[in-house]
Structure 1
Amino acid sequence: MRHHPFDDQPVDWRAKGFWQPGPPVPDAEFVAAGHHLFDGAVTWPVLVARRDAIAHNVAMMADFCARHGLLFAPHGKTAMSPSLFAAQLAAGAWAITVATANQLLACRALGVDRVLLANQLLDPVPLRWLAGELDRGFEALIFVDSVAGVEVIGAALGDHPGHASVPVLVELGHAGGRTGCRSVEQLVAVAEAAVADPRVRLAGVTAYEGGLPDVGAVAAYLDLTRSAVTELAERGLLADEVIVSAGGSAWFDVVAERLGGDWLPGHRLRVVLRSGASVVHDHGFYADRTPFRRLPGAGALEPALEPALELWAQVTSTPEPGLAIVGMGKRDAPYDEGLPVPLRVRRVGGAVGGADGVRVTRLNDHHTYLDLASNVEIGPGDLVCFGISHPCTAFDKWRSIPVVDDTHTIVDILHTYL
């Protein structure tokens, strides 16, 4: 994993999970001290990232894309961490995907050269900023799914200096989906509007299949996306080079199967995968849904992606038989796609064992309720290591995250933004 200059932040009282009551310490100095996770340099709860698991996941996704002829633009909203961006770009990622104008601005500040904004951008002020950055060599594509979205771009840049036209990907959605044209006919209308506006450049088509329930529904939707691209080509609306993008973290195998290959005669086709949660994976939502469970030879590949995040918290009370209270809660752990998963218990004396018979039942703001089997004994001061479900909302809660090696020595610090 590559350290990024923007990760050079001081460690002090503002760094949640770190214990630094004295003056600020540069993070490089903190890391150089070789602190162990259990030597008092951190306090509880603390979210940590496993260095080797991150490196493994970055390499696995780079290899998957290379083998299937896909470009990779991982969704950076998962972590908004410059060091993780740097690691993915160094492994061959073509771009970074983001969700908001602020995240687009952050990527530009962090030195990312090419960004996909996976939403319509309807605010004239960021649009004018983007046009200026495009004139200075920045590469960015934004999504549109309505004629109104195209018209906003044209209106914002109508009298704006410079010559840049904003590249757009027209999005095809599906019934009940969060964005996207609901029919090929609507998509054609939006594409025609983009081609007609001199401050807009139609770069291709995009889709998002992550909300669909099963392989069959995903395959049918991606087949429709492919047909829509062909329809635009036949109407003469596409340039020589065409970008087609799709891919959450649950169905990227189907994306490779249905959209991979050279299937658009007369055009240079570039298929871009956007899976983002794969960089750290998890013990819940994505562990159950990872395409590596479905791919041929998956048994030989296991574990194809490795959960990289661990949340350590301390037992603060055992008020009645079968119940332990842990000092972490909704302010610390994601809970929107499943509760934390107990993995290990570290006793006060340092002995480490499994967490069989330990189950999370609910979370308050700063408390987690553990249901204990009759043969499980856990006491105040013991530490519990939890896996998490849905990494995006784990990173939201932590601005500074110690990175540990297999001995739990702190070897780096990730910082997250926005």
Structure 2
Amino acid sequence: MTTSKQQLHVNKGFGDVTALEGSGWNILNEEVGLPVAVLDEASLQSNAQWMQSFSEQAGVKLAPHGKTTMSPELFKQQLSQGCWGISLATIPQVVSAYKQGVKRFILANQLIGKFHCQQLVEILQDPDVEFYCFVESVANVVFLGEFFQQQKATLNVLIEIGVPGGRCGWRNIDNIEPLVDAISAQPALQLSGVSFYEGVIHGEDAQAKIVHFIERIKQLFNQLQQQGRFNGENVIITGAGSAWYDVVANALTQEQSLNFTAIIRPGCYLIHDTGIYQDAQQTIMQRSQLACDIGGDLISSLYVWAYVYATPEPGLVIVGLGKRDAAFDAGLPTPTLYYRPGNDKPQQVPNSWESVKIMDQHLMLKVDESADLQPGDMMCFSTSHPCLTFDKWRFIGISNDQHVITKQVATYF
């Protein structure tokens, strides 16, 4: 049998492109190479609607952290359902999103380096672009101010407040004047609000610490606002990752006298998982009445299908799925379905089956010694920490409930 040139692809997880544009790729009929990463379309839609509803009912805006997927097609889906904008972590990520039509950004990080600044200057020439970045040091403020002044451009900045032992962020909230004065001394910089990331606060009393941290930030905001330190009408306080967005939203909306736009930045909700973010979401559902009142919940939408490669000894199955294909930093892939080509439909995996080791291209699966598996059988896995599965794929399929890939989304990591 000969293979036509149009069926040869340099990217994994591909089938015949012509067929994708028609009937799609049926995974169970082996119309696509494995391993293949797929997103369940119904779960994606449900997750997007759930978080948008939560944000609206909580009284906050939603700027999902796009670094989770780095997929402009998914950004467009989120924006079309009402997201305020997209937050990102690096200027290359901003450039990728901008080239695909995104216009409103929060760079939830420091803007560092001349080349990155020059790229941003080009983007800011677009009058429809609204851009904000974090600042947390006098040295960077001076650099940014001088650079953008030379370029005759204006940069919106948000003061980032940090915590001891955390990541970036100005540590001494009681002595913020040096940073604020440095910003005021730079005509090219517009102080547009305050930012934070609470996900680095841990411990048994983490929730109380986070609430106290946000209260201090609101006090700082009030102080700066009374002093007339902010520029423009659209002033922002932004925080929240995927584990504490309910607590952050509640804390930011408690004080109605402050005039600001509250923006949360969870990133993993659209994809979700069956690991660390499932655990985090279950905790949110236990403590947030609003989250429960929304109806439904977030659903893991990301799966990776792979072939059984070998059954070399009783109770051990080797699957063609490795570190190059799925996240492994926060738990190994979890087997969910198995299927023998030609059978009626996939079967649920017994709870006793467990991933025990992962290598570059192989996964070791512990199963019952009586398990009926053989090379060529197919297995489906869910994952933990979706960011680190996404960045292993140039293209990810969108599948329906019949396990047919109807389209693909590209990633730009």
Question: Do they fold alike, i.e. is TM over 0.5?
Answer: yes
Instruction: After superposition, give the CA deviation of every residue in 1:310-364 in whole Å (9 maximum; x if it has no partner).
Output: 1111111111111111011000010111111111111344342221211011100
Written as runs of structure 1 = structure 2, the 5 A alignment for 1:140-289 is 140-160=131-151, 162=152, 164-213=153-202, 214-239=206-231, 240-261=233-254, 263-265=256-258, 267=259, 269-289=260-280
Q: CA 1:186–1:315 in 2, change beyond 3 Å: closer, same or farther? A: farther
Distance across 1 between alignment mates of 2:386 and 2:102: 22
Could you list the runs of 5+ residues in structure 2 that have no partner in the other structure?
1-5
Query: Is 1:390 the equivalent of 2:385?
Result: yes
Distance across 2 between alignment mates of 1:106 and 1:30: 25
Instruction: After superposition, give the CA deviation of every residue in 1:5-28 in whole Å (9 maximum; x if it has no partner).
Output: xxxxx98512311144xxxx46xx
Distance across 1 between alignment mates of 2:123 and 2:292: 46
Could you say which residue in structure 1 is the equivalent of 2:83? 93
Q: CA 1:186–1:408 in 2, change beyond 3 Å: closer, same or farther? A: farther
Q: CA 1:317–1:132 in 2, change beyond 3 Å: closer, same or farther? A: closer
Could you say which residue in structure 2 is the equivalent of 1:15? 11
Q: CA 1:366–1:198 in 2, change beyond 3 Å: closer, same or farther? A: same
Could you say which residue in structure 2 is the equivalent of 1:307? 300
Instruction: Work out whether residues 107 and 115 of structure 1, in 8 Å CA contact, stay in contact via their aligned partners in 2.
Output: no
Within the candidate set 311, 318, 343, 1:325 is matched to: 318
Instruction: Work out whether residues 172 and 187 of structure 1, in 8 Å CA contact, stay in contact via their aligned partners in 2.
Output: no
For 2:216, give the aligned amino acid.
L
Instruction: After superposition, give the CA deviation of every residue in 1:104-132 in whole Å (9 maximum; x if it has no partner).
Output: 11122111111111111121232233234
Deviation of 1:97 after TM superposition, in Å, equals: 0.7
Within the candidate set 2, 20, 37, 1:30 is matched to: 20
Instruction: Work out whether residues 356 and 366 of structure 2, in 8 Å CA contact, stay in contact via their aligned partners in 1.
Output: yes
Within the candidate set 336, 346, 351, 1:352 is matched to: 346
SS at match of 2:182: helix
Instruction: Work out whether residues 332 and 384 of structure 2, in 8 Å CA contact, stay in contact via their aligned partners in 1.
Output: yes
Q: CA 1:300–1:359 in 2, change beyond 3 Å: closer, same or farther? A: farther
TM-score, normalised by the number of residues in structure 2: 0.91
Written as runs of structure 1 = structure 2, the 5 A alignment for 1:116-135 is 116-135=106-125
Instruction: Work out whether residues 15 and 25 of structure 2, in 8 Å CA contact, stay in contact via their aligned partners in 1.
Output: no
Q: CA 1:69–1:413 in 2, change beyond 3 Å: closer, same or farther? A: same
Deviation of 1:370 after TM superposition, in Å, equals: 0.7
RMSD over aligned Cα atoms: 2.0
Instruction: Work out whether residues 358 and 376 of structure 1, in 8 Å CA contact, stay in contact via their aligned partners in 2.
Output: no
For 2:387, give the aligned amino acid.
C
Q: CA 1:301–1:273 in 2, change beyond 3 Å: closer, same or farther? A: closer
Distance across 2 between alignment mates of 1:247 and 1:241: 19
Distance across 2 between alignment mates of 1:96 and 1:191: 26
Distance across 2 between alignment mates of 1:303 and 1:369: 34
Deviation of 1:382 after TM superposition, in Å, equals: 1.7
Q: CA 1:314–1:141 in 2, change beyond 3 Å: closer, same or farther? A: same
Instruction: Work out whether residues 400 and 415 of structure 1, in 8 Å CA contact, stay in contact via their aligned partners in 2.
Output: yes
Distance across 1 between alignment mates of 2:119 and 2:359: 42
Deviation of 1:298 after TM superposition, in Å, equals: 5.8
Distance across 1 between alignment mates of 2:329 and 2:176: 32
Instruction: After superposition, give the CA deviation of every residue in 1:357-396 in whole Å (9 maximum; x if it has no partner).
Output: 1101110000001111345332222211111101111110
Query: Is 1:379 the equivalent of 2:368?
Result: no
SS at match of 1:278: coil
Q: CA 1:12–1:348 in 2, change beyond 3 Å: closer, same or farther? A: closer
- What is the percent sequence identity of the aligned residues? 35
Distance across 1 between alignment mates of 2:289 and 2:7: 45
Could you say which residue in structure 2 is the equivalent of 1:362? 357
SS at match of 1:329: coil
Instruction: Work out whether residues 163 and 169 of structure 2, in 8 Å CA contact, stay in contact via their aligned partners in 1.
Output: yes
The count of residues paired between Structure 1 and Structure 2 equals 399
Q: CA 1:35–1:212 in 2, change beyond 3 Å: closer, same or farther? A: same
Instruction: Work out whether residues 48 and 309 of structure 1, in 8 Å CA contact, stay in contact via their aligned partners in 2.
Output: yes
